[in-house]
Chain A
C-alpha cells in the first residue's frame, strides 16, 4: 500500500480519536488560557510593554500548551497494547511516525490559532498586520515542535515519569527554533515585514525542520522495534 496513503490513515485515525474524546485539546486550550490570564497579573502595570514582547510571550504559551498534545501522541496507543498491533502491521515505522506527527501538527496549530485570537483580544495586540508571514512562522516552528515532540513521545511512552521526561527532553532541543520564532514573531507583531535579519531566522527554522525531520524518520524504527 502506498506510503502516503498509510500515513494518511494513521493521521485520520489519531484526529478522529482525539476529536471524539477531546481530552488533550481541552487540557491544552485551558492551559493556554490560564497562562494568558496569568500574564495579566505578571505584567499588571506594564500592559503597554506587553505588546512589544508579545511575540516572545505567545511562543511560551504555545510551547507549553503544545507539549500536552504531544504527550498524548504515543501514549494513546498504550491502552490495549495498540502500539503492538501497529508495529506488527505492514506499516513502515516512518509512516506511523509521520501520520502521528501530521495529526499532532493539525491539533497544535488549532490550539495556537485559538489562543492567538484570545491573546489579541486580551492584550490588544494587532497580530494581523503581517498575517501570512505570521502563519508561515507558526507553521514552520510548529512542525519542528511536532517532529521533535512526536519522536520523544515515542521514546518516553513506556517510561515511568513519562509526563515529566517529555518536557525535560523537548524544551532544550527546541531552544534554537523557539528563539528564531520569537525573534520573527516579535517583529511581525510590531508590523515589520519579513526581510533583512529576519530572513536569517527563517532559514534557521527551515534548516531545523529539515534536519530534525530527517533524523527522526531515520531513527524512529530503532526506537519502536524492541
Chain B
C-alpha cells in the first residue's frame, strides 16, 4: 500500500516538474531587468519555502516523539531534516549563482541568505549529532531535543537578522523585482514549482524514512543475533 502511494506521488512529482521545466525554459518570457538568469528564482524561492516547511515539520515530529516515544516519529524528523537540508543547500547555491551573475559577487550578506545559512548550520549540527549516537532510543531523544532548540532558534534568527539588515542596509537581494509587482504568469509558476518541489521532497522523505526504519530493524536483529 505504502509503495503504491510512494510511486503515485513520485509520478505526479515527475510529471509536474517536467511540465514546469518545459514552461520555464520554453514558454515564459525573459524578465525585463535581469534577462534569462531570473529563471533561477523558480528553484530558489520554492526551495526556500520547502526547506523552512520541512524544518517546521521536523520540529513538530520531534515534539511528538518526545511525547509518545514512538520511534517512527524520530524517523520522520530525521528524514525530513535531511531532505530540508538538501533543499537549503539548493537555496544557498542558487542564491550564490544569481548574485554572481547579477551583482558580480558570489555572496551577499542579505537578510534571507544569511538566515538560511544559519539554518543550514543548525541542521548540519543535527545530522552530526545523530551520527555520533549509536543507540537508537538515545539518538532519537537527543536529536528531538536538539531539533526543538534548533527550530526555536530558527524563528529568532530570521527576525533578528532582518532587524540587523534594516540597520545596515546593503545590496538588497530583492526577489521581488521592482518592489512587488510580478507578472501573474511568473508568480503562478513559482507556486506551481513549489508544489512540484514539495511533492518531490515528500517522495525523498518517504524513501529516507523507510531506509531509516530498515536500518533500525537490522541493528536490532544484529543485536539479537549477537546475544544468542
Direct contact of A and B (CB under 8 A): yes
Task: Please name all residues of chain B whose beta carbon is closer than 8 Å to the beta carbon of A171 when the two chains form the complex.
Answer: 121
Given contacts A169-B125, A180-B160, A222-B66, contact A212 B152 (CB under 8 A): yes
Q: Looking at chain A's contact residues, is the secondary structure mostly helix, strand, loop, or mixed?
A: helix
Surface stretch bound by B, among A38-46, A75-83, A135-143, A153-161: A153-161
Task: Please name all residues of chain A whose beta carbon is closer than 8 Å to the beta carbon of B152 when the two chains form the complex.
Answer: 211-212, 215
Task: Please name all residues of chain B whose beta carbon is closer than 8 Å to the beta carbon of A160 when the two chains form the complex.
Answer: 132
Q: Which residue on chain A has the smallest CB distance to residue B123?
A: A172
Find out whether the CB atom of B122 lies under 8 angstroms from the CB atom of A226: no
Q: In the complex, A201→B150 CA distance in Å? A: 20
Find out whether the CB atom of B125 lies under 8 angstroms from the CB atom of A176: no
The reply to whether the CB of A223 lies closer than 8 angstroms to some CB of chain B is yes
Highest count of chain B CB atoms <10 Å: which of A165, A173, A223: A173
Q: Which residue on chain A has the smallest CB distance to residue B141?
A: A222
The reply to whether the CB of A197 lies closer than 8 angstroms to some CB of chain B is yes
Contact with A along B118-133 (1 / 0, CB 8 A): 1001101100110011
Q: In the complex, A191→B160 CA distance in Å? A: 24
Q: Which of B195-209 contact A (CB under 8 A)?
A: none
Task: Please name all residues of chain A whose beta carbon is closer than 8 Å to the beta carbon of B64 when the two chains form the complex.
Answer: none
The reply to whether the CB of B28 lies closer than 8 angstroms to some CB of chain A is no
Task: Please name all residues of chain B whose beta carbon is closer than 8 Å to the beta carbon of A200 when the two chains form the complex.
Answer: 163
Q: Which of B122-166 contact A (CB under 8 A)?
A: 122, 124-125, 128-129, 132-133, 138, 141-142, 145-146, 148-150, 152-153, 156-157, 159-161, 163-164
Task: Please name all residues of chain B whose beta carbon is closer than 8 Å to the beta carbon of A208 when the two chains form the complex.
Answer: 156
The reply to whether the CB of B185 lies closer than 8 angstroms to some CB of chain A is no
Range, interface on chain B: 20 to 34
The reply to whether the CB of B167 lies closer than 8 angstroms to some CB of chain A is yes
Find out whether the CB atom of B167 lies under 8 angstroms from the CB atom of A183: yes
Residues of B within 8 A of A (CB): 66, 118, 121-122, 124-125, 128-129, 132-133, 138, 141-142, 145-146, 148-150, 152-153, 156-157, 159-161, 163-164, 167
Query: Which 4 A-B pairs give the minimum distances between C-beta atoms?
Result: A172-B121, A176-B160, A172-B122, A176-B156
Could you jot down 9 A-B contacts, CB within 8 Å?
Answer: A151-B149, A159-B129, A165-B128, A169-B125, A172-B125, A173-B153, A211-B152, A222-B66, A223-B145
Residues of A within 8 A of B (CB): 148, 151, 155-156, 159-161, 165, 168-169, 171-173, 175-176, 179-180, 183, 197, 200-201, 204, 207-208, 211-212, 215, 219, 222-223, 226
11 other contacts beyond A159-B132, A168-B124, with CB at 8 A cut-off? Answer: A151-B149, A155-B142, A156-B129, A165-B129, A172-B150, A176-B160, A179-B164, A183-B167, A215-B152, A219-B66, A219-B148
